[in-house]
Structure formats: C-alpha cells, structure tokens
Amino acid sequence: MKGIGVLIALVTAIGWGAVCGGLRAPFFAVAAGGLGAAALAFWLDRAVLVGPDTRSRNDFYLILASAIGFFAVVGVGTASVGYIVGNGLLHP
C-alpha cells in the first residue's frame, strides 16, 4: 500500500516526542528523533519515491530533494507536537 510508511513514521515521531516530553529531554533529542522518523518514512516509501515513473521525469532530483525536505519538516514538527503532549500530560 502506498503511503503506509509515512503513517508509520508519523506515529513513531509522535511517540518519540511524547517520550522526550515526558522525560523533559532537550529539543536536540526531539529534533534528532524527528529527523530519524523522516528517514524512516523515506526508507519505507522509497519504492514510490524513486520508482520508474518518478525517475523518468525531468525534474526527478527536484522531486527527490523536495520529498526529503518535506519529510524532515514534518518529522521534526510531529515530534515537537508529541513533545508538547507528553510534557503537558506528565508534567501539568
């Protein structure tokens, strides 16, 4: 199924952020986990991102760079939301 890797990575990022929030970890740890979730999403959906249909396009490298940047922003942002939730639930 296409896109399931992104869903798995988002759940992972939220969980990582919640754990970091519960432990009151520094933001560097949250950002590193978010980037790790972004790498996980890219790895799990690499067949779609670098498939023959995408690779044959003239702007393949632009699409690839955009996907990496998008995953990085979404991964860190989602982990940050998890951090806020974990911190708010465990340390009201």
Give residue 20's domain range: 4-90
Q: What is the pLDDT of residues 36-79, one digit of tens each?
A: 999 988 888 888 777 888 778 888 888 888 888 888 999 899 89
At 37, the amino acid letter reads A
- The token pair at 91 is 């340390």
Give me the number of domains the chain comprises.
Answer: 1
For residue 18, name the pLDDT band (cuts at 50, 70, 90). very high
CA distance 83 to 29: 10
Question: How many other CB atoms are there within 10 angstroms of residue 77's CB atom?
Answer: 13
If you average pLDDT over every residue of the chain, what do you get?
A: 87
